[in-house]
Amino acid sequence: MGYLDILQGMSLEQIRAVIEVIQQSSDSFLFILDLNTDVYMVSEKATKRFPFDDTVMENSTEIFKRVVYPSDYAMLKADLEKCASGEQDTHALEYRWLDRKDRVVWISCQGMVVTGTEGHRLLVGRVSELGKKAKADNLTGLRREARFRLNAEALLRDRPDTIRYMMRIGIDNFKEINEKEGVEAGDEVLQELAECILNAVDEKVDVYRLMADEFMIVDASDTVPKKPRAVYNQIQKTIAHTAKMKEYSRFYTVSAGVVEKDFKGRSAEEVMRLTEFTLNEAKRNGRNQMAMYNQASYDEYLKRLDMRKALRRAVNHQFKGFEVYYQPIVSAPDYHVVGAEALLRWHSEEYGNVSPAVFVPILEESGLIIPVGRHVLWEAANICKKWQAYIPDFHVNVNLSYVQLYRSDLMKDVEKCIQEVGIDPDSLVLELTESGYIETDERIKNLFRELKEKKIDLALDDFGTGYSNMRYLKEIEAKTVKIDRSFVVQALQNEYDYSIISHIIDMVHSLGSYVCMEGIEEKEELNKMMKTKPDMIQGYYFGRPSPADQFEETFLQIKDSP
């Protein structure tokens, strides 16, 4: 019996319907299953890809046991029984097959029951590979993001209360594996991880592969509940075990972000965003760990995004809301004002006065620190020139971010500024924090060299908060070391830190650099710290950061001079 014999028993209407099914996709192939005799027929194409002996096979049960992924067999059998008994006339399932190399292939099978010759119930339909439509991944045997979105959308709409958790898993160093060991190694890691994940969850729990190196577990099953923490721990354990078995030839770690509740009313898109955020939290916290979704930190994150938008608007509107404040720096021990540090302020319409500790990191993340830093540089240089009419050696300190160093042509900006404004290079001191410095970077070293050649001074800021490494001092060739207030506070409280600061100051002096002590607030503090012999002092005791006109009034008596 061939296809034609079967089709002969059909009405024209039925044949047309069958043809329509077949034509839906060129990646699919046709099958006919005689539900009365168990005869199964597939097109030639299918026999090449899957372990079918022939195009016409007598015992479909045996064949399915070989082709269908074992744990999906029961589901298929139940559905076929409904078709055979007449309980249903259509068949639509997504499940797994095994190809000729025993690799898992996700397929979509759609068919309809027609009555053929001799009154047999025939299931006629097509099988298509989900991987070919990017809905399943033949590398890992998992369904892909497109399918996750469709399934999650239905799940969130129809039975959100049944979702126990969604866990998004990402490989911490996938890019590195791909780059250093090649794409094949990357593929192997993906396959291995897919197995580790499947091994950690019940078969009824859904696992998807999202883009690149990310996976998603969705537990909306009715199996014995297993906590996400236990699942994650088991995945980690299996990865570690596999690494050991393979004699540590390849090593990777994974992070995970888990959303456990509040699924009601959310879209698949939203859940994607929440799990992505939570996974990133795990990575931000140091990788190789699991993070639980937390509404407060997500709100905080959204606020930062909003703030970033507001900052961008400010930058695009001639730096509206930004203002540069100046704090006096006095010489020691005579306490004359010798300069000022330019400190940026942001008065936002939406957020009020925001601390630089909050907005500077956002400017850095977004790269906005480059135009804003340039703005501060010009403002500060202009004011310095103006104030030199009253204090000829006046210098202005400008804080630099490492983002400006790495991602903009800082040297060009500084030179242009000095030239346009018309100040001496040594009127400008660029402050760099100790913590962002990467000593091996040649570009940065060249920049320091060039700055020195052009006689622009550097100050090492926040000394005492990081490694307090004297080597940095030498590499940067900082003219000044600024000792951070937190260190000063410690020294005021205990003798040990006090003696460390004293020794550091001696050491800095022996290297030919100056010391500026930051954060002196009270007279007693000043008296005690002066014994360590700093060269300059900056602190509320001598003046808080203030707008330029206020600084002039207080420190330069601009009204009655020059």
Query: Which residues contact Mg ion (rule: CB under 5 A)?
Result: 399, 431, 461-462, 482
Token couple for 445: 């070293």
Cα–Cα distance, 172 to 170 (Å, whole number)? 6
Q: Is 272 in the site for ligand C2E (CB under 6 A)?
A: no
Output 145 or 434, the one with its CB closest to ligand C2E: 434
Cα–Cα distance, 165 to 258 (Å, whole number)? 7
Find out whether 536 and 429 touch, Cβ atoms under 8 Å.
no
**Of 136, 343, 368, 430, which lies in the binding site for ligand C2E, with binding defined by CB under 6 A?**
343
Of the candidate spans 77-85, 256-264, 472-480, 536-544, the one that interacts with ligand C2E by CB under 6 A turns out to be 536-544
- Residue 489 CB, shortest distance to ligand C2E, in Å, is 9
For the window 454-473, what string marks contact with ligand C2E as x by the rule CB under 6 A?
-------xx-----------
Q: Is 540 in the site for ligand C2E (CB under 6 A)?
A: yes
Considering only residues 162 through 181, tell me which ones interact with ligand C2E, judged by CB under 6 A: none
Cα–Cα distance, 261 to 278 (Å, whole number)? 13
**Of 485, 498, 514, 552, which lies in the binding site for ligand C2E, with binding defined by CB under 6 A?**
485
Q: Is 356 in the site for ligand C2E (CB under 6 A)?
A: yes
Cα–Cα distance, 478 to 511 (Å, whole number)? 10
Cα–Cα distance, 379 to 340 (Å, whole number)? 13
Cα–Cα distance, 134 to 231 (Å, whole number)? 27
Output 97 or 463, the one with its CB closest to Mg ion: 463
Output 193 or 369, the one with its CB closest to ligand C2E: 369
Q: What angle do CA 110, 216, 263 make, to 5 degrees?
A: 90
Token couple for 140: 């890992």
Considering only residues 422 through 461, tell me which ones interact with ligand C2E, judged by CB under 6 A: 431, 461
Find out whether 258 and 282 touch, Cβ atoms under 8 Å.
no
- Residue 46: phi and psi, rounded to 5, are -65, -35
Tokens 């602190």 sit on residue: 539
Output 193 or 529, the one with its CB closest to ligand C2E: 529
Of the candidate spans 178-186, 217-225, 238-246, 537-545, the one that interacts with ligand C2E by CB under 6 A turns out to be 537-545
Output 278 or 532, the one with its CB closest to ligand C2E: 532
Q: Is 373 in the site for ligand C2E (CB under 6 A)?
A: yes
Tokens 């042509």 sit on residue: 409
Output 125 or 539, the one with its CB closest to ligand C2E: 539
306-321 CB burial, b ≥16 within 10 A, e <16: ebbebbeebbeeebeb
Q: Which residues bind ligand C2E (CB under 6 A)?
A: 327, 343-344, 355-357, 360, 369, 373, 376, 399-401, 431, 461-462, 485, 518-521, 538-540, 545
